[in-house]
Amino acid sequence: MRGAWFPLKATIHEDLSIVMCYCYSQGPLSEMMEQEFSGEWKFLRKTLFESSALRAERALLELALLLRMVDDEEKISEYDKTTSNVRSCGKLIMRDGSVEPLPFREVANKVIHSVEAVEWRYSPTLDHQVICKAGPGEKWVRAEIGLVDLSFVCGRLPA
């Protein structure tokens, strides 16, 4: 069992906050840049978009690792299966074209094992997604993680 020195669930909440703030701020920041700044604003764009994307990707990876640790310790995904309370956090697109639901434990695995890319997909309905792309040897092509659903999973963990 992990020692009490590391605030595991509080760090999950912090990482989720970083991911959500990044993803949900991109639309308003793009509008602000378009309306308020004309011409080339290379350093401001780098600050608002590139630096924050890098920080959000690190937070996403840490979030995945910590969710996996919590699930290993507390067996949340096993408990969910026994109560028929398995919430899909998106979908998994397989190499053969089939689509499978993405339980939260698999979210952690897919983020950790996405070697090709992690992309952010913005939706007008505000159900933004993180897209994790697999390498050539995997059975899956991409995982489409819904951030609202991921928030549901993280939000039920007490900090």
What digits encode the pLDDT tens for the residues 46-95?
A: 999 999 999 999 999 999 999 999 998 888 888 877 877 667 899 999 99
Looking at per-residue pLDDT, the higher value among 78 and 150 belongs to 150
* Beta strands 99-103; 117-121: pairing state: unpaired
Please state the domain extents for the chain: 8-155
* Strand arrangement, sheet containing 117-121: 99-103, 88-94, 140-146, 129-133, 117-121
Q: What is the pTM of this model?
A: 0.88
Q: Helix (H, G, I), strand (E, B), or coil: what is residue 125?
A: coil
